[in-house]
Amino acid sequence: MIPESETPILNEDMEETPQPSLTYKLDLANGRIGAVDVDGLEAVKQVVFKILSTSRFEHLIYSGDYGNEADMGAVRGRAVFETEIERWVKESLKQDDRIISVTQFRFSYESDSALVKFVVESDYGNYTDELEV
């Protein structure tokens, strides 16, 4: 039997509200996951760190959309390297619907490593992040 009601339920009365981005707090200095919840821009910062630190398809706990597919072994030359890093970071982070865009890439080199700085624009604000490659 299907329940019946005198009051009709209309979709017009329902409003779309944004879902919270509430998550657990990562304590990277001590290697712990905290009981404190973080939301908004702090949650976005954590997800950027986690996505760029996780290899795609390597961990069954994550979907195939989560993580990165960086393969810097075959890249030759700075111009190609910079283009590939930009592509890799943008493709990895665009899977999260809270992130609007990733822009303003800047590269600095020291011996055999590069420091990449970029701006993450999200629904909760913008911030500058960096990645050592």
**Measured CA distances, 79 to 75, 84, 86, 108 (Å):** 10, 9, 11, 13
Domain containing 51 — which CATH number? Answer: 3.10.450.40
Higher-scoring residue by pLDDT: 10, 5? 5
Does a structural domain hold residue 68? yes
Range of the domain at 94: 21-132
pLDDT at 11 (0 to 100): 60
Question: What is the sign, positive or negative, of the torsion defined by CA atoms of 101, 97, 108, 133?
Answer: negative
**Alpha carbon distance 133, 115 (integer Å):** 6
pTM over 0.85: no
Does a structural domain hold residue 124? yes
Does a structural domain hold residue 30? yes
Does a structural domain hold residue 13? no
Q: How many folded domains does the chain comprise?
A: 1
pLDDT at 101 (0 to 100): 93
Mean per-residue pLDDT of the chain: 81
Question: Tens digit of pLDDT for each residue in 15-29?
Answer: 766 666 777 888 778
